[in-house]
């Protein structure tokens, strides 16, 4: 393997120190006071005092759906409206292989330029593997730039006689190259049955599990408890994540703490998805409209790995979204009441941990997936989300963006 070496000159750490970061073969090799070491002829990237941070992670995307807000309108604005809009467009054959691959590729590029070097995406596989193959194709075009994990998102029902075709579709998706088993137990007539089947299939395939969980404000919907119990009882050996967990946020503090402890014991990561939850949830509740976020504080208190994502971007499930985890972090600050530093960790290092990727940071020995941002602090980076960024994956510059602003005063 060829040696790669790069010096990130004059980067600023969150504690204000100016440093030169020497990367070697994908890892941080050394961190030195800026301007002191002579790196002789090593290639370098001048960062001019920009803030250097661990690169961002998008733990929950739907790249097969991305950028369809105009072509797939959501008539009611809620989750059912989004699902109906998507299913009827898909049944009408609206999404070709090329269209899906192109949109997924554009969405990956948007994530990359904002500072994301690892993304996990769900892909609908209930009606065949075309969408999965299109996202696999887009992933091949991004090789070396961004890590992409693909979850097979199944249709309901997955259980009973009626679920036979959907169960076969999951098997086909795994054979076609899906990395994890997905599904939506809260939408199935037999949620615990779906979870049991998903664990069996994942065990057989030797892969992890990432379920859409309890995307509902009704507190009686609580399949997260079943997931924790079954993961503990079966001793399931691969990574497990639960995305959304909206109804956990509707429980009493006592129930939140009890379930969070079980989730921690089971080693399940939880992914709050503030953009889509704020967009879809609570539409029928005009007074004191709930935010639809999971119990972030209780989960973190219990020691659960909590990583936040944006979920859908500019599609019927979320009409807006910038493909920028700093937008997610901003919502964690405003709607989730988390500190800016914790919010940033939930869109960066915690995501890598949940995705089973080696740690990326500015410590020697860690993976040199880093992002430099022209901002004075993490708080300011989240607040302003400036587009002046440099993105490094494995110590290689993989994306650059520069924001230019001019004010033209009358002279
Ligand atoms: Zn989702």
The per-residue pLDDT for range 257-304, each reduced to its tens digit, is 999 999 999 999 999 999 999 999 999 999 999 999 999 999 999 999
Cα-to-centroid distance, 28 and ligand 1 (Å): 33
E strand or H helix that includes residue 54: strand 51-54
The pTM assigned to this predicted structure is 0.97
Looking only at the bridges linking them, the beta strands covering 208-213 and 240-244 are: parallel
Query: 193 C-alpha to center of ligand 1: Å?
Result: 20
Q: How far is the CA of 213 from the centre of ligand 1 (A)?
A: 9
**Distance, CA 124 to ligand 1 centroid (Å)?**
10
- Residue pair 231/202 in contact (Cβ under 8 Å)? The answer is no
Q: How far is the CA of 277 from the centre of ligand 1 (A)?
A: 10
Mean pLDDT of 107-129: 97
Q: Which residue has the higher pLDDT, 309 or 1?
A: 309
- Residue 307 half-sphere exposure, CB side, CA atoms within 13 Å? 27
How far, in Å, is the centroid of ligand 1 from the Cα of 316?
A: 12
> What per-residue confidence (pLDDT) applies to 40?
83
First to last CA, the chain: 59
153 alpha carbon – ligand 1 mean position (Å): 9
Please report the pLDDT score of residue 382 as a whole number.
98
Beta strands 147-153 and 180-181, pairing class: parallel
pLDDT at residue number 3: 86
What is the chain's alpha carbon radius of gyration, rounded to the nearest angstrom?
21
- Distance from residue 29's CA to the centre of ligand 1 (Å): 37
* pLDDT at residue 198 in the model: 98
Q: Do residues 128 and 143 share a domain?
A: yes
Verify that 397 and 251 share a domain, yes or no.
no
- What dihedral angle (degrees, nearest 10) is formed by the CA atoms of 288, 294, 299, 305? -150
Q: Which helix (H) or strand (E) holds 46?
A: strand 44-46
Q: Is the preceding peptide bond at 213 cis, omega within 30 degrees of 0? A: no
Residues 69-102: tens digit of each pLDDT: 999 999 998 888 998 999 899 989 999 999 999 9
Question: Tokens 């009409």 sit at which residue?
Answer: 319
Q: What is the pLDDT of residue 404?
A: 95
- How far, in whole angstroms, is CA 291 from its chain's centroid? 19
User: Are 155 and 60 found together in one domain?
Assistant: yes
Where would I find the beta strands (DSSP E) of 250-323? Answer: 268-271
3-state DSSP assignment of residue 220: coil
* 126 alpha carbon, distance to own chain's centre: 22
- 29 part of a folded domain: yes
Domain-embedded: residue 406: no
Q: 23 and 164 in one domain? A: no
Residue 1 pLDDT level (bands cut at 50, 70, 90): low
Same domain, 302 and 176: yes
pLDDT digits (tens, 9 = 90+) for 20-57: 999 999 999 999 999 999 998 899 999 999 999 999 99
| pLDDT tens track for 172-187 | 999 999 999 999 999 9
Query: What average pLDDT score do residues 247-265 get?
Result: 98
Q: What is the pLDDT of residues 169-223, one digit of tens each?
A: 999 999 999 999 999 999 999 999 999 999 999 999 999 999 999 999 999 999 9
Q: Based on the fold, state whether residues 242 and 107 are members of the same structural domain.
A: yes
Strands (E), 216-289: 240-244, 268-271
Domain that holds residue 372: 5-54+361-401
Strand positions, DSSP E, 259-298: 268-271
Q: Is 408 inside a domain boundary? A: no
Tokens of 398: 């993989």
The rounded percent of the chain whose pLDDT value lies above 70 is 100
Three-state DSSP state, 382:
helix
62 C-alpha to center of ligand 1: Å? Answer: 6
Same domain, 78 and 45: no
What is the reported pLDDT for 225? 97
Distance, in Å, from the CA atom of 160 to the CA atom of 175, rounded to the nearest integer, reads 23
Taking a C-beta distance cutoff of 8 angstroms, is the pair 65, 372 a contact?
Answer: no
The whole-number pLDDT of residue 103 equals 98
Secondary structure of residue 288 in the 3-state scheme = coil
Place of tokens 């109804």: 247
In this structure, is residue 78 part of a structural domain? yes
d(Cα 341, Cα 62) in Å, to the nearest integer?
A: 26
């Amino acid at each position: 393997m060829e040696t790669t070496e790069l010096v990130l000159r004059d980067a600023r750490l969150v504690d204000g120190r100016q440093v030169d970061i020497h990367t070697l073969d994908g890892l941080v090799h050394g961190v030195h006071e800026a301007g002191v070491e002579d790196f002789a002829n090593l290639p370098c990237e001048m960062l001019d005092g920009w803030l250097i941070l661990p690169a961002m992670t998008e733990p929950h995307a739907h790249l097969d759906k991305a950028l369809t807000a105009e072509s797939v309108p959501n008539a009611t604005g809620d989750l059912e409206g989004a699902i109906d809009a998507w299913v009827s467009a898909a049944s009408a054959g609206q999404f070709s292989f090329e269209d899906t691959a192109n949109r997924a590729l554009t969405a990956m590029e948007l994530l990359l330029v904002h500072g994301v070097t690892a993304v996990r995406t769900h892909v609908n596989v209930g009606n065949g593997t075309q969408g999965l193959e299109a996202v696999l194709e887009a992933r091949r075009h991004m090789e070396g730039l961004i890590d992409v994990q693909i979850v097979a998102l199944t249709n309901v029902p997955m259980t009973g006689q009626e679920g036979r075709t959907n169960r076969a579709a999951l098997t086909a998706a795994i054979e076609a190259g899906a990395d994890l088993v997905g599904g939506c137990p809260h939408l199935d007539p037999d949620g615990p049955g779906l979870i049991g089947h998903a664990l069996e299939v994942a065990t057989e395939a030797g892969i992890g599990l990432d379920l859409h969980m309890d995307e509902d404000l009704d507190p009686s919907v609580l399949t997260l408890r079943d997931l924790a119990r079954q993961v503990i009882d079966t001793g399931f050996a691969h990574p497990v994540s639960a995305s959304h967990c909206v109804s956990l946020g509707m429980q009493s503090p006592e129930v939140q703490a009890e379930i969070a402890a079980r989730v921690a014991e089971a080693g399940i990561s939880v992914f709050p998805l503030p953009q889509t939850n704020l967009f879809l949830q609570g539409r029928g509740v005009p007074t004191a409209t709930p935010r639809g976020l999971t119990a972030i504080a209780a989960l973190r208190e219990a020691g659960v790995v909590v990583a936040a994502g944006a979920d859908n971007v500019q599609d019927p499930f979320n009409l807006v979204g910038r493909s920028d985890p700093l937008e997610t972090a901003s919502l964690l600050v405003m709607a989730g009441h988390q500190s800016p530093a914790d919010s940033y960790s939930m869109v960066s290092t915690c995501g890598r941990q949940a995705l089973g990727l080696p740690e990326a940071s500015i410590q020697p020995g860690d993976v040199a997936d880093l992002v430099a941002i022209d901002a004075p602090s993490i708080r300011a980076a989240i607040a302003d989300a400036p587009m002046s960024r440099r993105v490094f994956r494995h110590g290689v510059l993989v994306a650059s963006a520069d924001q230019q602003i001019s004010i033209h005063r009358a002279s």
